[in-house]
A and B are shown apart, each in its own frame.
Chain A
Amino acid sequence: MFMDIQSLLIFWGVLVGFFILTSRGLGVLGDVLRPTGLFLLEKALGPAIDFAEGKPGSAARAWIILGTLWLFVSICFTFLGVWVGHDPYALISLSGWGYSPSSPTLISAGTVAGLYGFIGMVIIGSSFHVLPILCGTPGGLPSERNGTLVSTPWTVGVLILFIAAHNPTPFGIDITLVGVAVMALAYGAVLVNLLLTLANRTQSPKEPGWLLILAFIAGPASLIASSITNGPSLLADPWLVTKLLAVPFFLWSVAALSLYSAAIGSNSPLWSRTLSGTLLVGLIITSSAYQSLDGGLFSDLITQVSAVPDVSDSTRMFGTFLIALSLAPMIALSANIIGTVRAGGKSPEITNGMAILVTSSMALVILWLLNYAFRSPSIAGLNTYEPLLGTIELMTLWLFFIPMAMGIQLHLYPSITKRSLPSPERTRIGYWMFVTATSAGLICMLISESINISTSQLEVEFNSTLSDRFAVVGSVIFYGAVIAIILHTVNVLRGLFHGRIQLESSMSDIRKIETFTIAESITIRSILTAGADVDTMLVPVSDTEIPGAPTEL
């Protein structure tokens, strides 16, 4: 069931094949496929498509707003899960209504809402906005109406998975697979929309563009690879979700979108092209191995109904090697974002998401080291730190993935909605509360569990309440994240109606002219009028190869 070496080779082969085919074009076949794809997105849906709005940007807006609502659900259930972890009878009163969830159940439900609801929806909404810009696609997204419409089945899919996290068989049937199928349907439509965007491009996708499109292709590529090596039985298993929407979809696209946001938001070019290349190649080669060992973040969601199959020793060795190697792209991503945002020498702005991008980039390397250090014994078959892995996965989610998605959302919000956030002060308070609450709260919980492990391994009769105290303090601090998310959600929703309307010129995502050739004396006013800004490089005509040509304005 897992990706072994053979599957990984096929997976990489499919990605390389896709890259070559899309770079060279499909010729006549492409001319046939393009209108067919558009027909599938628009006309084939019949009257259903008329329910959706088709204005430019409406698809991206629908996805990021719905995602924000899921974020609120996610933090509430995660907090309750964390609390019930140290106080198992805290919600016993709800048993009168037939609801008596355990801590892992609540955390799983929160993770579903956070991962597939918030991060997934922000990724897709942002991609709808960013990919047409990177590809220079005329007219933007090919089908805004379909993009808007499919946010509904995706939300329904997340809702089903959310219920399944509590009870996977409420009516005697496994609804996990139903949720995955509904989400896969929406994902298919999103993919076709993005592929048409790529097909209609007028330029090769700019730097993080390939990483973004490969992130969307990786899921189907992974399915093809696993189907070839393991047979088509995979398609009827809940583990399908870890293939279709797993590490490549989340990590690669978050990396690509955060690089884009860092460059445009700080008004600086990407710091290093080498690091961007390292990130692209490194992530593709190394992080696809993450799902070959266990689902990590994803395994908790579905282990209730599906046992995790074991992997062979060779797969384990190969995967461990690749995971160790994955530190390189992680450092590349972190350094490139921090270098880009700090290029101007200014402190990163909180209100446009730059500060939270820098914070989560710094957290990335620390989290990688934590994950590697505590997961290594499990890979080797020892369960030494197994009780800590749940908290470390929570840290990965709440200190890297979700803040990154929040940063991307904060940066793209004005461009997508054509309005600014109404309260910068609320954003600043939310940022500090979120960062403090998630980091301090989760570290306290990690300390609490470490004390528990130490005392249990020493096998001493040590009746200490220290661990409980850390757990309580950690939960209370973590509640700050709930307040921060409430502030964020209200801000995002109010911005749709009360945010200052942005002028097209002030929110353009496309950088102004990079260089300006000076052939004769010219005023600064003329240069600015030509579209230059403070970052435009002025090149005297003697440094160019244009022999005495007039200045092109």
Chain B
Amino acid sequence: MANSDPSVDVFMQANAEPKSSWLLLVLGFIIVLLSLTIHSIVFPGQNLPVISDLETFGSLQGQVWIFILGMLVGTMMILSTLLTEVTRE
């Protein structure tokens, strides 16, 4: 019979959960990544539907868009915090 360390029972139990806002963010990121991957496999070399037709995304140039992406992530963080916290039971 193997010796069991009593602290294993104490420390090997997870009872906290990640924040819903982070779950939303990660889930959104994974969905976007999956969609892009599936699209590149199913329609290799083709433009993205709708999005690529938009002039804005078709001609994104300059480094400012990297910073704007950061702002959009920040906006998402604030919105997801608001939404998940307000609707939390």
**Interface set of A (CB-CB < 8 Å, partner B):** 69, 72, 76, 79-80, 83-84, 87, 89-94, 96-97, 479, 482-483, 486, 489-490, 493-494, 496-498
Nearest-CB residue, chain B, relative to A75: B71
Distance in angstroms from A505 CB to nearest chain B CB is: 27
User: What 0/1 readout, one digit per residue, does chain B (26-44) give for beta carbons within 8 Å of chain A?
Assistant: 0000000000000000000
**What CA separation (Å) do A118 and B79 show in the bound complex?**
18
A482 touches B81 (CB 8 A): no
Q: Is B6 an interface residue (CB 8 A)?
A: no
Measured between beta carbons, the chain B residues less than 8 angstroms from A479 are 67, 70
**What CA separation (Å) do A271 and B83 show in the bound complex?**
44
B55 touches A96 (CB 8 A): yes
**What CA separation (Å) do A414 and B55 show in the bound complex?**
47
Q: Is B46 an interface residue (CB 8 A)?
A: no
**What CA separation (Å) do A61 and B64 show in the bound complex?**
35
B70 touches A87 (CB 8 A): no
**What CA separation (Å) do A285 and B88 show in the bound complex?**
52
Distance in angstroms from B85 CB to nearest chain A CB is: 4
A69 touches B74 (CB 8 A): no
B60 touches A486 (CB 8 A): no
- Given A79-B67, A496-B85: A490 touches B59 (CB 8 Å cut-off): no
- Interchain CB contact (< 8 A) of B78 among A83, A89, A97, A493: A493
Measured between beta carbons, the chain A residues less than 8 angstroms from B85 are 493-494, 496-498
- Given A76-B71, A87-B64, A483-B70: A93 touches B78 (CB 8 Å cut-off): no
**Interface set of B (CB-CB < 8 Å, partner A):** 54-57, 59-62, 64, 67-68, 70-71, 74-75, 77-78, 81-82, 85, 88
Measured between beta carbons, the chain A residues less than 8 angstroms from B60 are 93
Given contacts A93-B61, A482-B74, A486-B78, 16 further A-B contacts (CB under 8 A): A76-B71, A80-B64, A80-B68, A83-B64, A83-B67, A87-B64, A89-B62, A91-B64, A479-B70, A482-B70, A483-B74, A486-B74, A490-B81, A493-B82, A496-B85, A498-B85
Nearest-CB residue, chain A, relative to B88: A497
Measured between beta carbons, the chain A residues less than 8 angstroms from B77 are 486, 490
Nearest-CB residue, chain B, relative to A73: B75
CB<8 Å pairs between A and B, sample of 21: A69-B78, A72-B74, A72-B75, A72-B78, A76-B71, A79-B71, A80-B68, A93-B57, A93-B61, A96-B55, A97-B56, A483-B70, A483-B74, A486-B77, A486-B78, A489-B78, A490-B78, A494-B81, A494-B85, A496-B85, A497-B85
Measured between beta carbons, the chain A residues less than 8 angstroms from B56 are 93-94, 96-97
Nearest-CB residue, chain A, relative to B64: A90
**What CA separation (Å) do A497 and B85 show in the bound complex?**
7
Measured between beta carbons, the chain B residues less than 8 angstroms from A94 are 56
Measured between beta carbons, the chain A residues less than 8 angstroms from B57 are 93
**What CA separation (Å) do A43 and B67 show in the bound complex?**
49
**What CA separation (Å) do A80 and B66 show in the bound complex?**
12
Distance in angstroms from B63 CB to nearest chain A CB is: 8
**What CA separation (Å) do A496 and B82 show in the bound complex?**
10
- Interchain CB contact (< 8 A) of A87 among B54, B62, B88: B62
6 A-B pairs with the lowest CB-CB distances in the bound complex, closest first: A96-B55, A486-B74, A90-B64, A497-B85, A90-B62, A96-B56
Measured between beta carbons, the chain B residues less than 8 angstroms from A482 are 67, 70-71, 74
Distance in angstroms from A174 CB to nearest chain B CB is: 30
Measured between beta carbons, the chain A residues less than 8 angstroms from B54 are 96
Distance in angstroms from A473 CB to nearest chain B CB is: 13
Nearest-CB residue, chain A, relative to B81: A493
Measured between beta carbons, the chain A residues less than 8 angstroms from B82 are 493
**What CA separation (Å) do A92 and B54 show in the bound complex?**
14
Nearest-CB residue, chain B, relative to A489: B78
**What CA separation (Å) do A91 and B68 show in the bound complex?**
10
Distance in angstroms from B25 CB to nearest chain A CB is: 11
**What CA separation (Å) do A497 and B59 show in the bound complex?**
42
**What CA separation (Å) do A66 and B40 show in the bound complex?**
42
Centre residue among B60, B62, B64, B88 by max chain A CB count within 10 A: B64
**What CA separation (Å) do A72 and B70 show in the bound complex?**
13
Nearest-CB residue, chain B, relative to A83: B64
Distance in angstroms from B67 CB to nearest chain A CB is: 5
